[in-house]
Chains A and B, each alone.
Chain A
Amino acid sequence: MINTSTNLAGIKMKSPVITASGTFGFGREYGSFYDLSLLGGITVKGLTLKPREGNKAPRIAEASASILNSVGLQNPGIEVFLDEELPFLRQYDTAVIANIAGNTIDEYCEMAERLGSSVDGIELNISCPNVKEGGVAFGTKSQSVYEITKSVKRHSCVPLIVKLSPNVTDITEIAAAAQEAGADALSLINTLLGMAIDVHTQRPMLANNVGGLSGPAVKPVALRMVWQVCGAVKIPVIGMGGISTWEDAVEFILAGASSIAVGTASFIDPFAPVRITEGIVQYMEKYGYSCIDDFRGKLKVF
């Protein structure tokens, strides 16, 4: 009997497959393609205390095997999420993780309090590259990661996941700081800061000039960082970054990730998270694994 269930720092999920924040809205759109209860969890679009309209369009550009986005945290604000979006998501048997972003530590804390125990987990977004204040500003120095994690942890009554930026010199230092401050889990990677230029107009492809790179091209970078972080901390890790196939997902689990998140792949194939889940089950059948921990972190390094 194959058991794909995962307990991520107290968040119980029926499979290790989660949808990544910012790529899945609040679930409604993809809920018209398949039953959202097939997912281990849904990490919702990044929330802020007040509604945000985000950056100017164009907000997306294509690069080789990847995309750049500069949405800039457009969202209806935490109150609308709690009143209108969360009740929709709660119809499904899937974990709901709220991704939160703020301009100040106080804003993050206030949001964690407002969420209370209405969600299964909180993902601390200190890695958004598309906003001027807050976002990645908190996520690139160990000291500030420690401070914000410690503060928000005091105000959260559900497991706190810290989402790390890859735009740092040593991600293991940042990971260790988050763990030290009391983070229950880590998720990585957020997007890599990138750029694309239209040679005919001689202007950047994004109205924000720069944006976050995601998609298959970033997977090797994400995998390396997940592997390094899993070796450096004891808390569980959600691996993400370019996962498009079940093989990609298994790579992250072999590298030590307890769960994995599917992001950009949903844009191309709305069923990607479901297909990846099925592929993981077939892999487990093939190699006789009965649970995720049977192969998690079992990478045989040279």
Chain B
Amino acid sequence: MNCQKSIVISNKEICSGVFEMVIEDKCIAEKAAAGQFLHLKPVESNEVLLRRPISIHRLDREKALITLLYQLKGKGTVGLSKIAVNEYIDIIGPIGKGFPIESEKRCAIVGGGIGIAPLMQLTADLKAFGKPISCDAYLGFRSDVYKLEEFSMLCDKTHVATEDGSFGEKGYITDIFAGNLHKYDVIYTCGPKIMMSKIKELCSTKKLKCYVSLEEKMGCGVGACLVCVCKTKAGDGDSWHHSKVCCDGPVFDAEEVLLND
């Protein structure tokens, strides 16, 4: 595992409360995969003690660039947003199990809000896959939309919904997705738990493969402290086990994880 300081190339607000940070690091860019995350130290002080797990949004392996997308939620992300260009950031990573790619399948990604972040590199990888895999995007937001152009370039068709109707369809992206369920074999989703539950339920009715990328408050980020757990199936029947989101995930087969407990 790596722990090092890497240089921040850019760090700017792309829409209200959502930031994009670009980091240059050859080692991370070479090793990282879609769906993995970096564990970042936002502030060099004890006031914000813990690192923050931020998923990898985009990788440019040739230029050794890693792009992260994050939303201001509290002291940690505010600290991240204040890191200036050319400053160094302390990083552990890349960490976790990313999205598995299944060849010759029809795919869709379903992202909600900042949950769209890890899906971008996945769509890029699907497009760049030996025999390109078809992929549609379903992106849901409360009000402000972002990153639509980039998703449109990488995906065959991009559907957008906002809860307030300010852009795209008014309502929930899950409802739009539900109508097109028959078009796909594999679904990848990341976003609010309630949205991922709904997607899982829809996929389960049609026996579609579904992968969910989970978020949980983390400590060490490497699997030692056992704080970032989720319930996963263990054996037959109703038995379950606490898996670690940081290293058993963050991407799980939706059938394996119990999202509603």
Contact = CB atoms under 8 A, between A and B. Distances in A.
- The answer to whether A and B interact is yes
Interface of A: 22-25, 28-30, 32-33, 45, 53-54, 57-62, 64-67, 69, 71, 74, 215-217, 244, 264, 266-271
- Give the interface centre of A23, A67, A266, A270 by most chain B CB atoms within 10 Å: A270
B137 to A, nearest CB: 29
A74 B226 contact: yes
Nearest to B41: A268
A74 B242 contact: yes
A199 B222 CA distance: 30
B242 A62 contact: no
A215 B224 contact: no
Nearest to B218: A60
Contact of B50 (A45, A54, A59, A67): A67
A267 B51 contact: yes
Closest 7 CB pairs of A and B: A25-B224, A60-B227, A59-B227, A65-B46, A29-B224, A32-B1, A267-B220
A99 B75 CA distance: 34
B65 to A, nearest CB: 25
Which label, helix, strand, loop or mixed, suits the secondary structure of the B interface?
A: loop
A130 to B, nearest CB: 11
A22 B217 CA distance: 17
A54 B220 contact: no
Contacts of A30: 222, 224
Listed residue (B1, B3, B48, B225) with the most chain A CB atoms within 10 angstroms of its CB: B225
27 contacts: A22-B226, A24-B224, A28-B223, A29-B220, A29-B224, A53-B242, A57-B230, A58-B227, A59-B228, A59-B229, A60-B225, A60-B227, A60-B228, A61-B217, A62-B48, A62-B50, A64-B47, A65-B46, A65-B47, A65-B49, A67-B49, A71-B227, A216-B46, A267-B219, A268-B41, A270-B1, A270-B220
Contact of B3 (A60, A66, A216, A270): A270
A65 B47 CA distance: 5
Contacts of B242: 53-54, 74
B34 interface: no
Nearest to A33: B1
A250 B42 CA distance: 28
Given A25-B224, A45-B226, A54-B242, A268 B216 contact: no
Interface of B: 1, 3, 41, 46-51, 75-76, 92, 216-230, 240-242, 247
A65 B49 CA distance: 6
Nearest to A211: B227
Contacts of A60: 50, 217-219, 225, 227-228
Contact of B227 (A57, A64, A217): A57
A18 to B, nearest CB: 15
A217 B145 CA distance: 40
B225 to A, nearest CB: 6
A271 B3 CA distance: 9
Given A53-B242, A67-B219, A270-B3, A23 B224 contact: yes
A28 B220 CA distance: 13
Nearest to A205: B217
B92 A270 contact: yes
Contacts of B1: 29, 32-33, 270
Contacts of B230: 57
Nearest to B75: A62
A217 to B, nearest CB: 8
Given A74-B226, A216-B49, A264-B49, 18 more contacts: A22-B226, A25-B225, A29-B222, A32-B222, A53-B241, A53-B242, A57-B227, A59-B226, A60-B217, A60-B225, A71-B227, A74-B242, A215-B49, A217-B46, A267-B50, A267-B220, A267-B221, A270-B92
B72 to A, nearest CB: 14
Contacts of B216: 57-58
Contacts of A28: 223
A4 B149 CA distance: 60
Nearest to A64: B47
Nearest to B228: A57
A152 B1 CA distance: 39
A53 B243 CA distance: 9
A25 B50 contact: no
Contacts of B224: 23-25, 29-30, 266-267
A60 B48 CA distance: 14
A25 B226 CA distance: 8
A267 B241 contact: no
Nearest to A32: B1
Contacts of A25: 223-226
Nearest to B222: A29
